[in-house]
C-alpha cells in the first residue's frame, strides 16, 4: 500500500463576524472595520490521506491552522509513494524535512500531528482495529470530560447535561467567579480555573490569588502566569496547594521532558492537534507517568477529529485525568464529523470502530471557508487596556491588571 495524496480542509470554526451568532447562510468572509475579510479568527484544519488501496485516513492539526495547512502541503512530497503503516519512520522523515526551519514548535507540531493522526487512522482501518488497540489496549472504557462554564446559569446547564467537572477561563475577577460557580453547583462538581498564561500577573500576585483559591478545592489551576515563565510556574507549584496544569502550547517529547524536569506541572495538557502526534502524546504520557503527573489534553483549539484522537490516547494510558470538551461552541462540531461524540454522565464512551472511528463530512467542512486566522488585538474601548495605555504592551499595565484579578 502506498500514499497517493493528501487533501486539506481549512474552515472557520465559528459563526461569521456580524452574523449575530447565526451559523446558517453565512459566507464566513464578511468585511470588517479593518478591511480584512474574516469571520471568526478560530479555525479548524482537517486532512485526509489517500492510498492506492482505496483506504483513506483523517487527521486534524491545530497550532495556527492556516499556516499548518501550508506546512502539510509543503511536506506532502515526502509522503507520496510511502507505506503509510510505518508511522514512526515517516514521522522521523517529516521532522527531518522541517529541521532546517528551526525547532519543531506548534506549527510544525500541528503539521506532524495532522499527518501522523491520519496514518494511525489508516493503519487501524487496514488491520480492522481501533487505534487504542494499537497503543497497548484499553485501560478504561469511557473518558471523563469537563465542560466550560463562565456563569452560574451555564454551570447549572452543564451539570443538568451530566457534566461533573467544569472549567472557567479568563482573568476578570477569578475569585468572585469561582465563588459563584461553587455556590451554584455545590461541592460534588470538580472546578478548574484557566488564567491563559497572563504575561502581566507577577508570580507573587499569582501566589496570593492561588492561596485564596485553595479553599475551593480545584481539580487544577491552569497557566496562572506566562507560559514562558517556567521558573515562575515551578515556584507557584511549590507555594500553592492546587495541582498546576500547563502544556497546551508545547510540541514534542523534548519540550514536555524539560517542563516536567523543571517541576512546572502536576498535570500536562498536550493539544492533540499540535503536540506532534498520537505517538508523541503517548510518549508524553509516559514521561508524566514517571514523575506521578497526569494528563488532561487540551481541546480548546480542536474540532471533532482531534477530539476522537484524544479518546484513543486517553483510553490506553494509565494517567489519563480528564479531557477538555467544548460542549456548546457551535453546531458545526456535531455536523462536520460523523458520528458526533455523545457525552453521557460526564463521560464519552471509547469508540470501537476500526481506526479513529470517525469520518469527515466534507460538504459541511466547505460551508464556512477560512478567512483571517491570526488573533485581532482588542480595541481601545474593549476594557482590556487601562485608559490612555492602548499603545503599550499589557505587561506594563500592572495596576490595571491587578484590579481585574483582585477586584481592587
Closer to Mg ion by Cβ: residue 375 or 381: 375
Q: Smallest distance, Å, CB 351 to Mg ion?
A: 26
Contact (Cβ atoms closer than 8 angstroms) between residue 76 and residue 111:
no
- Which stretches of the chain bind Mg ion, using CB under 5 A? 194
> How far is C-alpha 42 from the chain's CA centre?
12
Structure-block grid coordinates of residue 295: 494528563
Minimum distance from residue 248 beta carbon to Mg ion (Å): 5
Residue whose CB is less far from Mg ion, 194 or 266: 194
Distance CA 61, CA 139 (A): 26
Which of 122/265 has CB closer to Mg ion?
265
Contact 155, 149 (CB under 8 A): yes
Q: How many CB atoms lie within 10 A of CB 40?
A: 18
Nearer to Mg ion, 76 or 299 (CB): 299
CA 93, chain centre distance (Å): 25
Q: How far apart are CA 195 and CA 124, in angstroms?
A: 38
3-state secondary structure of 147: strand
50 is catalytic: no
What letter does residue 221 receive in the DSSP assignment? E
**At CA 117, angle to CA 111 and CA 121, rounded to 5?**
145
Q: Which residue number, 194 or 205, has a Cβ lying nearer to Mg ion?
A: 194
Residue 43 known to be catalytic: no
Nearer to Mg ion, 90 or 296 (CB): 296
Least CB distance to Mg ion at residue 149 (A): 15
Length of the chain: 408
The DSSP bridge partners found for residue 324 are: 146
Among 43, 148, 298, 347, the one annotated catalytic: 298
The answer to whether 228 and 254 are in contact (CB under 8 A) is: no
CB of 269 to Mg ion, least distance (A): 7
Distances, alpha carbon 97 to alpha carbons 14, 38, 91, 346, in Å? 33, 32, 10, 41
Q: Least CB distance from residue 272 to Mg ion, whole Å?
A: 14
3-state secondary structure of 376: coil
Residue nearest to Mg ion (CB): 194
- In DSSP terms, 268 is beta-bridged to 246, 295
Q: Report in angstroms how near the CB of residue 249 gets to Mg ion at its nearest.
A: 9
Nearer of residues 69 and 194 to Mg ion, judged by Cβ? 194
- Shortest distance, CB of residue 194 to Mg ion, whole angstroms? 4
Task: Count Cβ neighbours within 10 Å for each residue of 257-293 and write b for 16 or more, e otherwise.
Answer: eebbeebbbbbbbbbbbbbbbbbbbbbbbebbeeeeb
Question: Treating both helix axes as pointing N-terminal to C-terminal, what angle do 278-290 and 87-98 enclose, rounded to 10 degrees?
Answer: 90
The residues carrying an active-site annotation are 196, 298
Amino acid at each position: 500500500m502506498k500514499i497517493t495524496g493528501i487533501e486539506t480542509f481549512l474552515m472557520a470554526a465559528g459563526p461569521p463576524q456580524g452574523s449575530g451568532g447565526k451559523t446558517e447562510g453565512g459566507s464566513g468572509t464578511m468585511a470588517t472595520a479593518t478591511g480584512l475579510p474574516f469571520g471568526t479568527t478560530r479555525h479548524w484544519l482537517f486532512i485526509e490521506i489517500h492510498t492506492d488501496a482505496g483506504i483513506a485516513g483523517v487527521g486534524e492539526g491545530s497550532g495556527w491552522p492556516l499556516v499548518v495547512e501550508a506546512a502539510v502541503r509543503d511536506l506532502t512530497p515526502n509522503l507520496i509513494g510511502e507505506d503509510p503503516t510505518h508511522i514512526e519512520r515517516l514521522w522521523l522523515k517529516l521532522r527531518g524535512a522541517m529541521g532546517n526551519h528551526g525547532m519543531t514548535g506548534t506549527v510544525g507540531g500541528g503539521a506532524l500531528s495532522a499527518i501522523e493522526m491520519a496514518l494511525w487512522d489508516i493503519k487501524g482501518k487496514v488491520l480492522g482495529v481501533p487505534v487504542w488497540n494499537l497503543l497497548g489496549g484499553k485501560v478504561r472504557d469511557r473518558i471523563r470530560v469537563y465542560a466550560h462554564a463562565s456563569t452560574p446559569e451555564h454551570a447549572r446547564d452543564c451539570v443538568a447535561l451530566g457534566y461533573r467537572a467544569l472549567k472557567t477561563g479568563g482573568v476578570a475577577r477569578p475569585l468572585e467567579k469561582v465563588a459563584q460557580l461553587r455556590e451554584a453547583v455545590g461541592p460534588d462538581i470538580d472546578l478548574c480555573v484557566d488564567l491563559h498564561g497572563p504575561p502581566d500577573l507577577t508570580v507573587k500576585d499569582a501566589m496570593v490569588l492561588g492561596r485564596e483559591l485553595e479553599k475551593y478545592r480545584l481539580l487544577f489551576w491552569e497557566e496562572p502566569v506566562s507560559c514562558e515563565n517556567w521558573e515562575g510556574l515551578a515556584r507557584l507549584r511549590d507555594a500553592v496547594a492546587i495541582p498546576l496544569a500547563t502544556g497546551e502550547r508545547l510540541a514534542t517529547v523534548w519540550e514536555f521532558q524539560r517542563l516536567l524536569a523543571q517541576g512546572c506541572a502536576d498535570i500536562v495538557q498536550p493539544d492533540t492537534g499540535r503536540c506532534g502526534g498520537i505517538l508523541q502524546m503517548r510518549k508524553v504520557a509516559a514521561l508524566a507517568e514517571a514523575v506521578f503527573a497526569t494528563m488532561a489534553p487540551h481541546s480548546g483549539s480542536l474540532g471533532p477529529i482531534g477530539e476522537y484522537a484524544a479518546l484513543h490516547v486517553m483510553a490506553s494510558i494509565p494517567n489519563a485525568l480528564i479531557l477538555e470538551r467544548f460542549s456548546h461552541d457551535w453546531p458545526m462540531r456535531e455536523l462536520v464529523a460523523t458520528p458526533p461524540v455523545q457525552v453521557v454522565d460526564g463521560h464519552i464512551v471509547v469508540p470501537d470502530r476500526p481506526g479513529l472511528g470517525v469520518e469527515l463530512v466534507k460538504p459541511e467542512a466547505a460551508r464556512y471557508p477560512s478567512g483571517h486566522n491570526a488573533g485581532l488585538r482588542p480595541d481601545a474601548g474593549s476594557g482590556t487596556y487601562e485608559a490612555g495605555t492602548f499603545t503599550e504592551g499589557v505587561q506594563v499595565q500592572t495596576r490595571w491588571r491587578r484590579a481585574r484579578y483582585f477586584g481592587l
